């Protein structure tokens, strides 16, 4: 037995050795042919999790977890006290958000703090705007505080209306009415009243149409010594003067819009452009910061009427009169020429800490790819609409994602949540964070999804975004039930209420600026979107009426905007699904063909504006046209390649996704726009005359604007035409196959 056992085992060893040898040989042969005959015959390594389709039921689980009433509860908590940036509530709220996120089960939540230049009224000396009579005595002083709050809203630490970063000073002069203080308003003044000398005057402008910082800049450039900005009833109230908060959502007569005046290409901390405001940062002198030198202050329409009814001079051009019930005149000065306006402004700049909270859900397959969801936390006062409606949605969304994590779900890519500080002062928290982590964020961020205000009205969902995200936004809105009609989707009602001028999709506007997506898109080329529910544009008002006033309360939202918080829930659901889709889909759901179409439209638009003027200078569109055509065909074949691809090779999937991520980044010119070096996206930027609005091909538009102001910029136009042709071609090349 023993010997036979020996013999058989020896035979076994010999056989095994032979088999092993044979196997090795086969392997070598296969390897040889595989290498010699190209990659097709290589057996694809097992793909495992990397090729796993997302859980088809995950959208329902996420949406079913979220409750409108929870959003209401968060909003009540967040709006219970003022939470202005740089005050103790900035840190207290940051700690609250961090602690909640840890409790919900996010993988981490940390506070990132920055030491930045902010601005506040002086607590001892009120800012005064006054009418002085012919003897230099005070005839009338504008309200210091807004009136008419409900009893439970009369709390401490309400900052009086002011404009952050205003210049200080005590000035007296004659008043001139300048409408919205847009460039075209000043052009009109010059045309109709060539003898009007604006130098040394105090301007009064109404709020609306453009960013207030541009109003201050335009005024200072035209020689104003001070600027008063007020909210005209035509732009912020109803026809019935008594129909105001707390009886309606309209702005009361003492309501004034707070807001910052920081106009520059970098935004963020005014003293540390380009770099994070760490303790070791190099800080420029405050005098050199891009802030106004003249005093600027906001007032309500009751007070504005006291000035405007006494103005002398010509009656205003058509379109300039508001609804104050007085005859609007230009000035300068009053009917009694010895009466003057005085502004005694003590608003001061101060270095203080502001805080971001960053929450993190680590992706299971591609943890180094980030989908970032952001909302700012700081408010001028209670922030009922701006930004706490967004914060309330974000809290409920993070809670729901935490719940899914506890149930075993994990996204393919990482989800990052940013709760930003000091957005109201000029996108400060988000910009400093992007500056601190610029390398990682530029390389790893798939998309940035912003909700600043979740609900500013009850009319319809709207979105702004870069073109790569259009399709994903439509797809998310088709999945979420409309808060108005449960038989319809958010998409259906959006399309009904916002019919497109052409085509059959609800319009998505370009980003412009005015919120925290700006540093992501314009600095590092990250595709971004901004979502909200808004009021009916047919109302013809500039924004929701009580914007940045003390009346942005919980009561306002509950009584007039979103009584059941289901509009907020709809926006939050779209936000969550869009993020989940971007995080979970094997192939990132970007559509480059939509980008191609937008480029073609933008080129046509540029031609219709400037082509003949440019032709006279020998500038033509050949290269731009050629690059745009190349981009279009590259996008078409890229998407064909993606559609026909088998999702069984992890490396190949990653390769395609890396290409998808490169497209937007190719529009970043490392040198920046001419004279706006921190804005580096050559296709889109905030407009130079209105930071809120978007401008296509900003390098060209800026230069053409200067040419219209009689500056010689034709070389810049030539250079920028070449830059955009290059960047579009470069973007096209990112979509082509890997062989250069």
Binding site for ligand NAG (CB under 6 A): 133, 139-140, 170, 172, 197, 199-200, 342, 344, 623, 626-627, 630, 725, 729
Question: How many Å is the Cα radius of gyration of the chain?
Answer: 29
CA 173 – CA 646 distance, rounded (Å): 74
Residue 387 in the binding site for Zn ion (CB under 5 A): yes
Taking the least distance from each CB to Zn ion, the nearer of 300 and 390 is: 390
- The interface partner of residue 69, options being ligand NAG, Zn ion, none and the CB cut-off 5 to 8 Å by kind, is none
Residue 552 in the binding site for Zn ion (CB under 5 A): no
- 445 to each of 183, 520, 579, how far by Cα in Å? 37, 9, 12
The torsion angle over the Cα atoms of residues 159, 165, 170 and 175, rounded to 10 degrees, is -100
Q: Is the peptide bond before 387 cis (omega within 30 degrees of 0)?
A: yes
Taking the least distance from each CB to ligand NAG, the nearer of 28 and 144 is: 144
- The interface partner of residue 41, options being Zn ion, ligand NAG, none and the CB cut-off 5 to 8 Å by kind, is none
Residue 386 in the binding site for Zn ion (CB under 5 A): yes
Query: Min. distance of Cβ 627 from ligand NAG in angstroms?
Result: 4
Taking the least distance from each CB to Zn ion, the nearer of 252 and 390 is: 390
Taking the least distance from each CB to Zn ion, the nearer of 87 and 630 is: 87
CA 264 – CA 269 distance, rounded (Å): 11
Structure tokens at 709: 């102001």
Which of 65, 269, 452, 552 touches Zn ion by CB under 5 A?
Answer: 452
DSSP codes joined into one string, 72-141? HHHHHHHTSS---TTSHHHHHHHHHHHHHHHHHT-SEEEEEEEEEEEEE--SSS--EEEEE-TTS-EEEE
Taking the least distance from each CB to ligand NAG, the nearer of 51 and 128 is: 128
* Cβ contact 508:528 at 8 Å: no
* Cβ contact 384:433 at 8 Å: no
Residue 516 in the binding site for Zn ion (CB under 5 A): no
Handedness of CA 370, 374, 377, 378 (dihedral sign): positive
Taking the least distance from each CB to ligand NAG, the nearer of 160 and 172 is: 172
- Burial class from Cβ neighbours inside 10 Å (0-12, 13-18, 19+) for residue 393 reads buried
- Burial class from Cβ neighbours inside 10 Å (0-12, 13-18, 19+) for residue 651 reads exposed
Structure tokens at 632: 């279009």
Taking the least distance from each CB to Zn ion, the nearer of 386 and 562 is: 386
In degrees, rounded to 5, the angle at the alpha carbon of residue 44 between the alpha carbons of residues 39 and 50 is 125
- The interface partner of residue 452, options being Zn ion, ligand NAG, none and the CB cut-off 5 to 8 Å by kind, is Zn ion
Residue 344 in the binding site for Zn ion (CB under 5 A): no
Taking the least distance from each CB to ligand NAG, the nearer of 344 and 435 is: 344
Taking the least distance from each CB to Zn ion, the nearer of 435 and 530 is: 530
- The interface partner of residue 710, options being ligand NAG, Zn ion, none and the CB cut-off 5 to 8 Å by kind, is none
- The interface partner of residue 386, options being Zn ion, ligand NAG, none and the CB cut-off 5 to 8 Å by kind, is Zn ion
Taking the least distance from each CB to ligand NAG, the nearer of 630 and 695 is: 630
Q: Give the start-end residues of each E strand in 334-427.
A: 340-345, 348-361, 366-376, 413-420
- The interface partner of residue 285, options being ligand NAG, Zn ion, none and the CB cut-off 5 to 8 Å by kind, is none
Query: Min. distance of Cβ 135 from ligand NAG in angstroms?
Result: 10
Query: Min. distance of Cβ 77 from Zn ion in angstroms?
Result: 18
- The interface partner of residue 277, options being Zn ion, ligand NAG, none and the CB cut-off 5 to 8 Å by kind, is none
Query: Min. distance of Cβ 383 from Zn ion in angstroms?
Result: 8
Query: Min. distance of Cβ 222 from ligand NAG in angstroms?
Result: 11
Q: Which stretch binds Zn ion (CB under 5 A): 397-405, 451-459, 639-647, 654-662?
A: 451-459
CA 684 – CA 652 distance, rounded (Å): 31
Taking the least distance from each CB to Zn ion, the nearer of 413 and 548 is: 548
* Cβ contact 85:378 at 8 Å: yes
- The interface partner of residue 729, options being Zn ion, ligand NAG, none and the CB cut-off 5 to 8 Å by kind, is ligand NAG
- The interface partner of residue 542, options being ligand NAG, Zn ion, none and the CB cut-off 5 to 8 Å by kind, is none
Residue 421 in the binding site for Zn ion (CB under 5 A): no
Give the residue carrying structure tokens 């700081």.
378
In degrees, rounded to 5, the angle at the alpha carbon of residue 722 between the alpha carbons of residues 716 and 727 is 120
CB-CB neighbours of 733 under 10 Å: 14
* Cβ contact 171:266 at 8 Å: no
- The interface partner of residue 436, options being ligand NAG, Zn ion, none and the CB cut-off 5 to 8 Å by kind, is none
Residue 512 in the binding site for Zn ion (CB under 5 A): no
Query: Min. distance of Cβ 224 from ligand NAG in angstroms?
Result: 11
Query: Min. distance of Cβ 160 from Zn ion in angstroms?
Result: 20
Count the residues of the shown chain that bind Zn ion, applying the rule CB under 5 A.
Answer: 3
- The interface partner of residue 172, options being ligand NAG, Zn ion, none and the CB cut-off 5 to 8 Å by kind, is ligand NAG
- Per CB under 5 A, residues contacting Zn ion are 386-387, 452
């Amino acid at each position: 037995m023993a010997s036979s056992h020996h013999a058989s085992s020896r035979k076994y060893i010999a056989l095994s050795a032979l088999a092993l040898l044979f196997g090795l040989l086969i392997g070598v042969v296969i390897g040889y042919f595989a290498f010699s005959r190209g990659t097709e015959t290589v057996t694809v390594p097992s793909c495992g999790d990397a090729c796993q389709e997302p859980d088809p039921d995950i959208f329902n689980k996420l949406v079913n977890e979220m409750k409108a009433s929870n959003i209401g509860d968060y909003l009540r908590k967040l709006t219970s006290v003022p939470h202005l940036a740089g005050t103790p509530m900035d840190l207290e709220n940051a700690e609250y958000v961090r602690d909640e996120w840890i409790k919900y089960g996010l993988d981490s939540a940390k506070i990132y703090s920055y030491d930045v230049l902010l601005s506040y009224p002086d607590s001892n000396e009120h800012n005064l705007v006054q009418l002085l009579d012919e003897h230099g005595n005070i005839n009338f002083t504008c309200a210091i505080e807004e009136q008419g709050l409900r009893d439970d809203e009369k709390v401490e630490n309400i900052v009086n209306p002011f404009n952050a970063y205003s210049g200080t000073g005590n000035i007296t002069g004659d008043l001139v009415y300048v409408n919205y203080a847009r460039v075209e308003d000043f052009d009109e003044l010059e045309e109709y009243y060539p003898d009007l000398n604006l130098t040394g005057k105090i301007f009064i402008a109404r709020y609306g149409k453009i960013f207030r910082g541009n109003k201050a800049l335009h005024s200072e450039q035209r020689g104003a010594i001070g600027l008063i900005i007020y909210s005209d009833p035509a732009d912020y109230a109803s026809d019935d003067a008594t129909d105001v908060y707390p009886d309606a959502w309209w702005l009361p007569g003492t309501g004034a819009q707070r807001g910052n005046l920081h106009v520059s290409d970098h935004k963020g901390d005014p003293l540390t452009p380009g770099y994070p405001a760490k303790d070791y940062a190099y800080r420029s002198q405050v005098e050199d910061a891009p802030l106004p030198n003249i005093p600027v202050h906001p007032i309500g329409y009751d007070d504005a009427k006291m000035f405007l009814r006494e103005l002398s001079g010509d009656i205003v051009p058509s379109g300039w009169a508001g609804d104050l019930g007085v005859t609007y005149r230009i000035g300068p000065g009053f009917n009694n020429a010895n009466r003057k306006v005085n502004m005694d402004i003590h608003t001061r700049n101060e270095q203080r800490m502001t805080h971001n909270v960053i929450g993190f859900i680590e992706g299971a397959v591609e943890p180094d790819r980030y989908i970032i969801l952001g909302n700012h936390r700081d408010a001028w006062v209670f922030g009922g609409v701006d930004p706490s409606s967004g914060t309330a949605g974000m809290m409920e969304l993070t809670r729901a994602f935490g719940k899914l994590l506890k149930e075993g779900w994990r996204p393919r890519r990482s989800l990052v949540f940013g709760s930003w500080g000091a957005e109201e002062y000029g996108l400060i928290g988000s910009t400093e964070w992007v500056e601190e982590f610029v390398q990682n964020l530029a390389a790893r961020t798939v998309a940035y999804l912003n909700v600043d205000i979740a609900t500013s009205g009850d009319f319809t969902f709207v979105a702004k975004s870069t073109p790569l995200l259009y399709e994903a936004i439509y797809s998310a809105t088709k999945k979420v039930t409309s808060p108005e009609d449960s038989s319809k989707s958010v998409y259906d009602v959006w399309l009904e209420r916002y019919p497109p001028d052409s085509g059959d999709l609800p319009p998505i506007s370009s980003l412009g600026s005015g919120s925290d997506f700006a540093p992501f898109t314009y600095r590092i080329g990250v595709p971004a979107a901004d979502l909200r529910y808004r009021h009916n544009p047919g109302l013809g008002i500039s924004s929701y009426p009580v914007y940045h006033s003390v009346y942005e309360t919980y009561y306002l939202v509950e009584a007039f905007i979103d009584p059941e918080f289901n509009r907020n829930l709809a926006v939050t659901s779209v936000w969550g699904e869009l993020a989940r889709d971007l995080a979970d889909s094997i192939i990132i759901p970007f559509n480059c063909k939509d980008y191609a179409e937008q480029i073609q439209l933008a080129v046509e638009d540029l031609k219709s504006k400037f082509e003949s003027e440019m032709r006279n200078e020998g500038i033509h569109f050949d290269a731009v046209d050629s690059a745009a055509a190349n981009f279009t065909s590259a996008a078409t074949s890229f998407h064909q390649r993606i559609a026909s691809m088998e999702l069984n090779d992890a490396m190949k999937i990653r390769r395609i996704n890396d290409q998808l991520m490169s497209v937007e980044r190719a529009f970043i010119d490392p040198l920046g726009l001419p004279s706006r070096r921190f804005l580096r996206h050559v296709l889109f930027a905030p407009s130079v005359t209105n930071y809120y609005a978007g401008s296509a091909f900003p390098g060209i538009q800026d230069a053409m604007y200067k040419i219209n102001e009689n500056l010689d910029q034709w070389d810049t136009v030539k250079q920028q035409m070449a830059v955009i042709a290059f960047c579009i071609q470069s973007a096209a090349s990112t979509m082509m196959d890997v062989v250069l």
